[in-house]
Amino acid sequence: MKTTNTALDSDAEDKGCKHSSAPTLKIYPDTVLRQRCEPVEQFNGELTDLVDRMFATLRKHHGLGLAAPQVGITKRLFIAEIEDHSLCIVNPSLELKSYYEYQIEGCLSLPGKLVDLSRNHQVEVTGYNLSGSKRHHQLKGMWARVAQHEIDHLNGVLIRDYVDPEVFDLPGCFRSQTLFPFKTIL
């Protein structure tokens, strides 16, 4: 995946975004990716504009999900878009609901890296929409996986944290041997 010095995405308006300015994607080892995010306190036009710009970035990089720290914002917010359905959750909390299953994951902030990671197949995510109304989402399969991945970002956790650090930088895909990160970031 490539990054550029410009924050403009000339294709954003063509893809249904209200604003053409897509924030620059942060790539590991950028320190913002390791910060624990603070709750969003104001639900206003600035938040809506940020979400529009995040969707532009997500589409530009062909991702499924994007958390605010991946664009340099340390707030508890993530977006997802799968098969033309989109979701935005502000100040999410997560409850695991079912069995675990392995699936290979990548990350826009760790280009070229893949981890065969065990995640819960079904979750309940509680949070707020852009208007500040509380919402409960029952998510399964890929939606549940993306939500767990993005909420990890909000806590400063990356997919690399589920793999032995001595092997992560080697080429290839690695299977996680744990349900929890090797090193918990606080």
Report how far Cα 184 is from the mean position of its chain's Cα atoms: 18
Given 81, 83, 150, 166, the catalytic residue: 150
Q: For residue 166, indicate whether it is catalytic.
A: no
For residue 2, give both structure tokens: 């490539």
State the number of CA atoms in the 13 A half-sphere of 61 facing the CB.
Answer: 31
* C-alpha Rg value of the chain to the nearest Å: 16
Distance in angstroms (rounded) separating the CA atoms of residues 13 and 77: 22
Catalytic machinery residues: 150
